[in-house]
Chains A and B, each alone.
Chain A
Amino acid sequence: EDQVTQSPEALRLQEGESSSLNCSYTVSGLRGLFWYRQDPGKGPEFLFTLYSAGEEKEKERLKATLTKKESFLHITAPNPEDSATYLCAVQGWTGNQFYFGTGTSLTVIP
Chain B
Amino acid sequence: DTAVSQTPKYLVTQMGNDKSIKCEQNLGHDTMYWYKQDSKKFLKIMFSYNNKELIINETVPNRFSPKSPDKAHLNLHINSLELGDSAVYFCASSQTSGTNEQFFGPGTRLTVL
Q: Which A residues are within 8 Å of any B CB, using their own CB?
A: 31-32, 34, 36, 38, 41-46, 49, 85, 87, 89, 91, 95-100, 102-103, 105
Q: Is B100 at the interface (CB under 8 A from chain A)?
A: yes
Indicate which residue in B44, B50, B92, B99 contacts A49 across the interface (CB closer than 8 Å).
B99
Q: Is the CB of B41 within 8 A of A85?
A: yes
Q: Determine the residue in chain A with the shortest Cβ distance to B94.
A: A96
Q: Is the CB of A42 within 8 A of B106?
A: yes
**CB-CB contacts below 8 Å: B7-61 with A:** 31, 33, 40-45, 48, 50, 55-56, 58
| Total of A-B residue pairs, C-beta within 8 Å | 58
**Given A43-B90, A44-B90, A85-B41: A34 and B56 interface contact (C-beta under 8 Å):** no
Q: Is the CB of B42 within 8 A of A43?
A: no
Q: Quote the shortest CB–CB distance from B86 to chain A (angstroms).
A: 16
Size of interface on B: residues with Cβ below 8 Å to A = 26
Q: Is the CB of A46 within 8 A of B103?
A: yes
**CB-CB contacts below 8 Å: B61-113 with A:** 90, 92, 96, 99-107
Indicate which residue in A32, A43, A44 contacts B100 across the interface (CB closer than 8 Å).
A32
Bound CA span A31–B98, Å: 11
Q: Quote the shortest CB–CB distance from B90 to chain A (angstroms).
A: 5
B106 partner residues in chain A, CB cutoff 8 A: 42-43
B99 partner residues in chain A, CB cutoff 8 A: 32, 49
Bound CA span A3–B102, Å: 18
Q: Is the CB of A102 within 8 A of B40?
A: yes
Q: Is the CB of A42 within 8 A of B107?
A: yes
